Structure 1
Amino acid sequence: MKDVAIKIDDISKIYKLYQKPTDRLKEALGISKKLLYTEHYALKNVSFSIHKGETVGIIGTNGSGKSTLLKIITGVLNASKGNTTVHGRISALLELGAGFNMEYTGIENIYLNGTMIGFTREEIENKLNDIIQFADIGDFINQPVKTYSSGMFVRLAFAVAININPEILIVDEALSVGDVFFQAKCYKKFEEFKERGKTILFVSHDLSSIAKYCDRVILLNRGNLVAEGSAADMIDLYKKVLVNQLDDENQKSDIVKTNMQDQWKNRLIINPNTNSYGNYLAEIIDFGLFDDKGNITNNFIKGRTFTLKMKVKFNAEIQDPIFAFTIKDLRGTEITGTNSMIEKIGVLKTQIDMVKEISFMQKIDLQGGEYLLSLGCTGYRAGDFDVYHRLYDICNITVISDKNTIGYYDMNSIVNIK
């Protein structure tokens, strides 16, 4: 097919795992009749096609085979079985500083990397000023790269990869090293690439970037291709993978559920250093975060609704308990939150061993990013404020957005120009 840039046909990558180094030697010498290794599939029977001009994201948990797949596409690794076909000149940014000679200067490494990609010296010289300006590392461009910081490495490597004018650009998490201004410049270049009909293959844990830039997304899990489709659909499916709720029979979790594992909180990513305190006259025994489709998850798409639920057990008779939650940014600034007293919803009196389930449902207008959630049950006894139980920074909330406005939340402005 003329419009196909990359075709992956039944690719598998198998690694032999040996219990001890001597087993590898015995196999190489052929002196053992026993099988001395076990097979590990980094990738198993993966097939898909990427069309010219597409921006395709690859997502999955650590160990799902994303980087292995990119290395096979770029020729860094050989597949154990299957075929890979690439139509077009590839520029790949797979590992920080890969292909750099530490003793060479930045300028010399530009020529070295360009030559490795397959460009002539004349072609590199025509792009040299653009590369230097994009990298923006000042006089360090004339210094040996062994003197560079990690940020300088990624600036120069990305500047070469994206300004050398490839037909296919492959990026694997490299942008996470640069500062926010450099990342903004890189993403602007992505937009230019898309407008010019270039093909981009993009691996990232930043789901907001995946949602914003990718025409299509491929989801991998444990070396298997789970599904491919729109960014929104694949992110929803990925959220199930994160909490072992994937229904695909080939991806079922081997976790045996117990009463404890049936709790909502055990299907979330919990902060191991949570600050839990209070007099425990009431205790938050369970809580869950639910997206607009009823799935338990820490990840939510901006503009949709999500529901926070908590179960509180009362160890004493309490008059008018107050149930609350707070959302903070990673710097500890309280962004938003509410409680049952503010919302004018209350319980007049509780009994010992009574369990109440409280639900807060709201629309997410927070900007894309990472936040921390705190929960609480408080009240007043004899006129004094009392903390029964609080869970500070109990878990994270990731908001996935393809449009971030200024500040903490989106005013959802409607803009008309006449």
Structure 2
Amino acid sequence: MSSEVAISVGNLSKVYRIYNKPEHRLVQMATLGRIRPFKEFAALHDVSLEVKRGETIGIIGRNGCGKSTLLQIICGTLQPTQGSVKVRGRIAALLELGAGFSGEFTGRENVYMNGAILGFSREEMDARFDQIAQFAGIGEFIERPVKTYSSGMYVRLAFAVATAVEPDILIVDEALAVGDEAFQRKCYARIEAIKERGGTILFVSHGAQTIVQLCDRAILLDAGEKLLEGEPKAVVNQYQRLISASLEDQKRYRQEIKSGLAIGATTSPKGETTASFWQKDESRQEEDKTSSHNYDSFDENLRSESIVEYTINGAQIKNIRILDESGNAVNSISFGRPYRYQYDVEFLESAENAGFGMAIRDTSGLHLFGQSSGEIGKGKKFNKGEKLIVTFPFLNLLSPGLYYCNAGVGKYEDGEVMYAHRIVDGFVFRVHQFGADLLCSSTINLKAGPVSVDQHAEI
């Protein structure tokens, strides 16, 4: 990756004036600005970032957080109120649907017009046209006016043009969300090809997994501010935590994220900060030393650095762990052996319907496997103060590497499914012997009640 900066954004702000009535604009002009009959809305506030040549940067955030405004300013289609933007290289952009094409022109005419805007001659576009048409795959519609296209056809052609001209910088603003699954796979393959040849990509998506898989870094925007920039999985975790929070918790979470307190730590209900939910059992550590299973062990230095805890909403998860056949606590495990993934749950409020779940992800954040105790809404009733141990037995057939475990308690309340508590990346373990996949055993046992669900897992 080059150290040369492709995009530099410094202290960028964009403020819109909102008038209640059209004539208020005339009042402002007539009074030379002495009367200001408008409200100001800050779409962006003091945003700074740098994108190096060859990097793929993901921008994630809630609707209205300023993502599209930022991309439009970088592309030059919108002027900032304050701040500076420097771009080095040719940009091709897929912004909001409808931008860049003329509805009255045919697809063919729009291809050549976009090529001319990007500085390509007629001859250069002739050489690229067949490739563009083949990638878009819209058949005879390429000879019809764009205004007759469906949204999917429009994006197919727009993406084909933007990537066929071999841009130095590709900017994509959630445009691929309207494409079908097969076309999305083609698009991601094309994006990977652009990355491999050293192209710079700025990518906006609400798809957390897409950000984790495609991007070198990620940026979290909220209410026009840059809250966080860093490793994609850590940023995505904080985004998911933010959007799942109640309104009263969101302000506190925003401050924690901006100050860096939310990274690699979680806050308990009493305000105590801890780096892990694991409670080491000294007696089991002594047993491990004399165990005949030399490969299984507990490494106290192996702790998750990306824990995110959701708001406690009626239940609390504690003490996430993996146990071997003898009940010893382990986080370095062998291929082909059976284990139990467990966590403790205490209900702080009564719940008529509750369910329990888990998930395993790799270091990139890719979701490998998940299992639950059954459909939430048809679960068991749990009383306030009730405590239980949730157990997911599994046979480990994972390949060597580090893996992260999620734990969740869900409930069905007022017609809505919600988390009573959830912990993301709450436990990390290492597989130290060659393997391939993960198979889960057929039952989930709750020691506090007779819940048992036959469930076979296939990956």
1:162 aligns with 2:192: no
1:293 equivalent in structure 2: 307
2:15 equivalent in structure 1: 14
2:417 equivalent in structure 1: 394
Identity across the alignment (%): 41
1:73 equivalent in structure 2: 74
**Are 1:97 and 1:157, in contact at CA under 8 Å, matched by a contact in 2?**
no
SS at match of 1:41: strand
CA shift at 1:46, angstroms?
0.9
SS at match of 2:386: strand
1:248 equivalent in structure 2: 255
SS at match of 1:14: strand
Amino acid at match of 1:293: I
Match runs of 1:153-232 below 5 Å: 153-232=154-233
Q: 1:238 to 1:314 in 2, by over 3 A?
A: closer
**Are 2:309 and 2:424, in contact at CA under 8 Å, matched by a contact in 1?**
no
**Are 2:308 and 2:423, in contact at CA under 8 Å, matched by a contact in 1?**
no
Q: 2-side partners of 1:62 and 1:306: how far apart? A: 36
1:257 equivalent in structure 2: none
Amino acid at match of 1:394: V
**Are 1:97 and 1:154, in contact at CA under 8 Å, matched by a contact in 2?**
no
Paired residue for 2:373, among 338, 347, 353? 338
Aligned residues: CA RMSD: 4.0
CA shift at 1:354, angstroms?
5.4
Q: 1:325 to 1:106 in 2, by over 3 A?
A: same
**Are 1:219 and 1:238, in contact at CA under 8 Å, matched by a contact in 2?**
yes
Q: 1:29 to 1:187 in 2, by over 3 A?
A: same
SS at match of 2:183: helix
Structure 1 segments, 4+ long, off by >4 Å, are 249-252, 304-310, 312-315, 321-327, 361-365, 372-376, 390-393, 396-400
Amino acid at match of 1:356: E
1:275 equivalent in structure 2: none
SS at match of 1:83: strand
Match runs of 1:49-68 below 5 Å: 49-68=50-69
**Are 1:312 and 1:355, in contact at CA under 8 Å, matched by a contact in 2?**
yes
Give a deviation string over 1:386-406, Cα, whole Å, max 9, x none. xxxx98761489999xxxxxx
Paired residue for 2:347, among 289, 296, 311? 311
Q: 1-side partners of 2:225 and 2:346: how far apart? A: 35
Give a deviation string over 1:149-173, Cα, whole Å, max 9, x none. 1111110011001111111000000
The total of aligned residue pairs comes to: 321
Paired residue for 1:356, among 356, 365, 386? 386
Q: 2-side partners of 1:306 and 1:212: how far apart? A: 28
Q: TM-score, normalised by structure 2?
A: 0.61
1:89 equivalent in structure 2: 90
Give a deviation string over 1:145-200, Cα, whole Å, max 9, x none. 22211111110011001111111000000000000000000000111111100000
Instruction: Identify which range, 391-400 or 14-23, moves more after superposition.
Output: 391-400
1:384 equivalent in structure 2: none
Q: 2-side partners of 1:168 and 1:228: how far apart? A: 20
Q: 2-side partners of 1:205 and 1:215: how far apart? A: 17
Amino acid at match of 1:78: Q
Q: 1-side partners of 2:33 and 2:192: how far apart? A: 57
CA shift at 1:249, angstroms?
6.9
1:286 equivalent in structure 2: none
**Are 1:292 and 1:306, in contact at CA under 8 Å, matched by a contact in 2?**
no
Q: 2-side partners of 1:39 and 1:146: how far apart? A: 35
**Are 1:16 and 1:37, in contact at CA under 8 Å, matched by a contact in 2?**
yes
CA shift at 1:37, angstroms?
2.0
CA shift at 1:23, angstroms?
2.0
**Are 1:64 and 1:222, in contact at CA under 8 Å, matched by a contact in 2?**
yes
SS at match of 1:246: helix
Structure 2: 5+ residue stretches without partners: 260-268, 270-304, 313-330, 332-340, 359-369, 375-379, 397-407, 426-435, 440-459
**Are 1:375 and 1:392, in contact at CA under 8 Å, matched by a contact in 2?**
no
1:318 equivalent in structure 2: none
**Are 2:228 and 2:257, in contact at CA under 8 Å, matched by a contact in 1?**
no
Q: 1:203 to 1:54 in 2, by over 3 A?
A: same
Instruction: Identify which range, 117-126 or 61-70, moves more after superposition.
Output: 117-126
Q: 2-side partners of 1:142 and 1:295: how far apart? A: 53
Instruction: Identify which range, 147-156 or 205-214, moves more after superposition.
Output: 147-156
Q: 2-side partners of 1:38 and 1:355: how far apart? A: 50
Structure 1: 5+ residue stretches without partners: 253-261, 263-290, 299-303, 316-320, 328-334, 340-345, 366-371, 377-389, 401-409, 414-418
**Are 2:60 and 2:221, in contact at CA under 8 Å, matched by a contact in 1?**
yes
1:103 aligns with 2:104: yes
**Are 2:16 and 2:43, in contact at CA under 8 Å, matched by a contact in 1?**
yes
Q: TM-score, normalised by structure 1?
A: 0.67
2:288 equivalent in structure 1: none
